[in-house]
Amino acid sequence: MNPEHSYPGRLIVVEGIDGSGKSTQIELLQNYLRLKGYGVLLNVWNSSPEISPIIRKAKKKQTLTPYAFSLLHAADFSYRYTHEILPALKAGKVVLSDRYIYTAVARDCARGIPKDWLVSNFRFAIRPDLTFFFRVDPAVSYDRITQTREIKYYEAGMDMEFSTNPRESYILFQSKVLAEYEVLAKENGFHLIDGAHSMDETQKSMRKAVNPVLSGIG
């Protein structure tokens, strides 16, 4: 279990497979909390100024092994944790994290990396005050994503060579990720969000869950 924190801020996380609705909801939550007067930092997976450009280049070449993929994302997380997430928590902000350590564990486990190695790599990171887990059928999230853009190589797990068909590969790979998330959800007490619900319904239930977590802040 990761350590609890005693910083004045709060850490709220959204987790789930690609296309499950996390970014949509966390942005709505960000607007809601800002309107309520909270200082908010929205922090996004794979966005550090130092490491994420390297990840983008490496992904284009499609040559990353599962361990290289994992370590690069761990470096990106570690950078954001130290330089962005922790300072905001120390300053009493509400940190909204679009993906957290559980993404690395679920996704890299699905790529065949032993879970204990992954968990120990992220042992330093504090436990969030609240983690939402967006549970959605991979066939549904595939359809949602491909309404606006093409599926990406690593998102579909094409590097694992489960199938040469991107849709089939996405569903096989993301089903494995989802199974890992189900275990993590039980181990870490995630707050379940039914990804089949409407955006409005989901946002309402998230606000209801967030409000008690924010008591005593600001």
Candidate ranges 11-19, 41-49, 67-75, 171-179; the one touching ligand ADP (CB under 6 A):
11-19
Which listed residue (56, 199, 204, 211) binds ligand ADP by CB under 6 A? 199
**71: burial class by Cβ within 10 Å (0-12, 13-18, 19+)?**
middle
Least CB distance to ligand ADP at residue 17 (A):
7
Q: How would you classify the pairing of strands 130-135 and 94-98?
A: unpaired
Least CB distance to ligand ADP at residue 126 (A):
23
Q: 37 a known binding residue?
A: no
Bridge partners for 42 per DSSP: 96
Which listed residue (9, 19, 157, 166) binds ligand ADP by CB under 6 A? 19
* Residue closer to ligand ADP, measured from CB, 5 or 146: 146
Q: 175 a known binding residue?
A: no
* Residue closer to ligand ADP, measured from CB, 20 or 169: 20
Q: 20 a known binding residue?
A: yes
Rounded CA-CA distance 166/170 in Å is: 6
* Residue closer to ligand ADP, measured from CB, 47 or 87: 47
Is residue 2 within 8 A of residue 126, CB to CB? The reply is: yes
Rounded CA-CA distance 60/170 in Å is: 18
Q: 59 a known binding residue?
A: no
Is residue 153 within 8 A of residue 159, CB to CB? The reply is: yes
Q: Which of residues 112-151 bind ligand ADP (CB under 6 A)?
A: 144-145, 148
Candidate ranges 18-26, 31-39, 77-85, 175-183; the one touching ligand ADP (CB under 6 A):
18-26
Is residue 142 within 8 A of residue 170, CB to CB? The reply is: yes
* Alpha-helical segments (H) within 62-198: 66-80, 86-90, 101-110, 115-121, 138-146, 166-188
Least CB distance to ligand ADP at residue 178 (A):
12
Binding stretches for ligand ADP (CB under 6 A): 16, 18-24, 144-145, 148, 198-199, 202
